[in-house]
Structure 1
Amino acid sequence: MEMDVFQKLRRQLDNYAFGYPQTKSGVEMEILKLMFTEEEAVIFTSMTAELEEPAAAAARIGKPVEEIAGRLEDMAVKGLLFRRRTGDVVEYCTNPYLHGLYEFQIPRLGKKLVKLTGQYINEVYKHNMAQGMRPFIRTIPIEDSIEKENYVTPYEDARKILQEADLIVVTKCACRQGLSLFGMDCGQPQEVCFMFGPMGQYYIDNGWGRKVEVEEATRILEMANKSGLITQAATSKKPFDMCNCCVDCCGFLRAVSKTENPAELVFSNYLVAVDRDKCNGCGACEKRCGMKAISMSEADGKADLNLHRCIGCGLCVTTCPVKARSLEPKKGKPGIPYEDTAEQFKQIVQGRGIKEVLPENIISFGFKSNVPEENKLETTK
């Protein structure tokens, strides 16, 4: 018996990034049938994660180029396929579930999708998210929380990331956008997440974001930091995104916060150091820390720190009124982000125990540097 197209679609998505595992409830299939028509599912399963022009897809599917080109564009507008424009050339490829299908569908499908995805995450997906967070996204510490002599790599400077981006697009935080539909978001500003390069152009073309210059992007970044949001960028040297979110709203941060050792799961080169002689026990840092890495000592009323829970964001450092806290480099060799998005997403898949990842299953979003394998740097803890 031929496999149901939605089952085929689920299995294909399970090859990408964090995967798309089955559940006992079948909620994952309900999500797919909400997102895709049967025809769209057929087209999606005829495509791969490698970008290609409509003519190549049409030849494989066996339909006229004009027809397929129209269908691919319709699916890109819906956020079902990724689209890259390079001059007059338009290419398409499949999207993973995260970052991808879910975020791109919130404006279109709203409450129902957010509710179903919440159920899916609680049933099984939270484990995939926590396991793959380290290669997926990294903590970018607040600049004011680090002494200049303590910077260990240039990839941890949020302002530098903005300055070097080919295109900066600001968009709403998908996490807060989804929760706000139910009045459950933290109430912080939503338009604080950045998309770069081909991903930024995709957001502009689909009406999900607006282009900003470095100066405005920097002001948004500073506002996000003052609001207590954690800055995170994709774990590659040229990230496709940089988000500002919180533990209350971000699915990834929330998943990691529920583990015993968030520091082990999050890519960060810094840890907080505390000068207990300066600490006055005001408790501002405890309130600021979403990872619950800080508690007030019953013995002397001063702040105690659990380094197993510290992800090095620096929010508690900038909050401390007596400057009793600082961010210091972790011991050992610093972690270096992956060369590009393709290598980053390949590592996410391999982290699920899949040793051989076919090129057709490697997400790149158009960010692929073609660096020889022997010249690539490892991302260390």
Structure 2
Amino acid sequence: MAQDVYKRLAKHLDDLPGGFPATESGVELKILQKLFTPEQAELALGTTLIPEEARVIARRAGLSSEEAASRLDQMVQQGLILGIYPPQRAPLYMAAQYVIGIWEYNVNSLDQELVELMNQYVSTLFDPETWSQAPQLRTIPVGRSLDAGHQVMPYEEAAAIIAQQKKILVAPCICRKEHKMAGQGCDRLLEACLVFGAGAYLYERRGVGRVIDQAEALEILKKADEDGLVLQPSNSQKVINICCCCGCCCQVLLALKRHPRPASLVSSPFTLQVDTELCIGCEVCQERCQMDALSMENEHVLLDPERCLGCGLCVSTCPSGALTLARKPQDQQRPVPATFQEAVMDLARARGKMGATSLALMGLKSKLDRFLASKD
């Protein structure tokens, strides 16, 4: 019976936009058994992408409102579902995706077993065909790689994104943390995940990370450039986070690195231009590139444009000015969704999930359950 609830939860998570695909080994079920008790798994099955009060989810689960609220709050604290706590109103609860979601929310709960299970599973999560339709990674240039001649949208420039934020929290990088636990990885910046707005409030409520001001956030971005970290904001014009990522630990960059054409799977408005006459063959850019897009030929740098993410790490430390960023032609630039919710729904459609009918049914069921819960 307990095994059955984890299979149902796995399907429930796989039906969400981010997915949770099954494997022959069943490692995904072991992950769920590690994170959820059977009772928590059963209750999670009653959550959807629509934020709902505890009384609504309680009715589906056959629990009292008080018992459901207590369990749901605990699950929010454990990073298993999402909780919204509006002032002077009842809390709302909704399903969390596995990635980006449950996995990242458990950065403070990692142990050796969970890390090993995730490393067995992570390659299954990477679907190049889906990513080519709905990119799961967007890069923006490090600040020093842009000059006054660049026309940059506010959501394409890290400093401008920071300037828009009223609430900022920095959290540990789960990728570097898990690699460290496995005896691998690097010693680059650990506090490297900047979370904004509602996400920052939720992280703070759960005791994950620490609240910082704009000045410290800019210092973190400066350190990220020094450490050679790729800036990955959410793929939305209203940015909800920026992760500072390395090619040796970041599971997304590692997956991209194994692909023959990483640039085709990434949303980036820029690419690299090389002036070979200015190149002095110092090879600093090769060391900085996280995608192996640069090589040396006849003592000059050579670019493979199909591997370039337009991150600017090579530009910011080029001593001769041989490397510059250039905006891609308009037809090669991926449109950036207005909100993260739009980006999530793009991913759902690319995976063949959350069609108009299923969304309508979800909404109708939520309305009906809310009505019935009000009568209990």
TM-score by length of 2: 0.90
Change (3 A) 1:354 1:74: closer
Match of 2:283 in 1: 283
Letter in 2 for 1:42: E
The superposition leaves residues 63-114 of structure 1 with CA deviations (integer Å, 9 ceiling, x where unpaired) of: 2211111000011111111112221332111111101111122322422111
**What does 1:287-306 correspond to in 2, within 5 Å?**
287-297=287-297, 300-306=298-304
Letter in 2 for 1:91: L
CA distance in 1, matches of 2:132, 2:330: 23
Unaligned runs of 5+ in 2: 363-376
The superposition leaves residues 173-225 of structure 1 with CA deviations (integer Å, 9 ceiling, x where unpaired) of: 11111111123121101002111111111110111111111111111111111
Match of 2:109 in 1: 108
CA distance in 2, matches of 1:311, 1:350: 24
2:233 is the alignment partner of 1:233: yes
SS at match of 1:200: helix
Change (3 A) 1:3 1:108: closer
Change (3 A) 1:241 1:71: same
Change (3 A) 1:346 1:29: same
Count of aligned pairs between the two proteins: 359
CA distance in 1, matches of 2:174, 2:133: 17
Change (3 A) 1:230 1:291: same
2:355 is the alignment partner of 1:356: yes
CA distance in 1, matches of 2:301, 2:140: 23
Alignment root-mean-square deviation, CA? 2.2
CA distance in 2, matches of 1:254, 1:275: 29
Letter in 2 for 1:341: F
The match for 2:328 among 314, 327, 330 is 330
Deviation at 1:59, TM superposition (A): 3.0
Match of 2:173 in 1: 173
2:314 is the alignment partner of 1:310: no
Match of 2:4 in 1: 4
Letter in 2 for 1:81: I
SS at match of 1:287: helix
Matched-pair contact (CA < 8 Å) for 2:17–2:354:
no
CA distance in 2, matches of 1:270, 1:27: 38
Letter in 2 for 1:99: I
Letter in 2 for 1:33: Q
CA distance in 1, matches of 2:300, 2:110: 47
CA distance in 2, matches of 1:267, 1:359: 27
Change (3 A) 1:206 1:129: farther
Unaligned runs of 5+ in 1: 363-381
CA distance in 2, matches of 1:189, 1:81: 28
Match of 2:19 in 1: 19
CA distance in 2, matches of 1:220, 1:105: 22
Deviation at 1:355, TM superposition (A): 6.9
Change (3 A) 1:86 1:128: farther
Match of 1:99 in 2: 100
CA distance in 2, matches of 1:361, 1:128: 30
**What does 1:149-298 correspond to in 2, within 5 Å?**
149-297=149-297
> Percent of aligned pairs with the same residue?
34
CA distance in 1, matches of 2:134, 2:312: 18
Match of 1:117 in 2: 118
CA distance in 1, matches of 2:152, 2:197: 26
Match of 1:375 in 2: none
Change (3 A) 1:16 1:361: farther
Matched-pair contact (CA < 8 Å) for 2:134–2:346:
no
SS at match of 1:103: helix
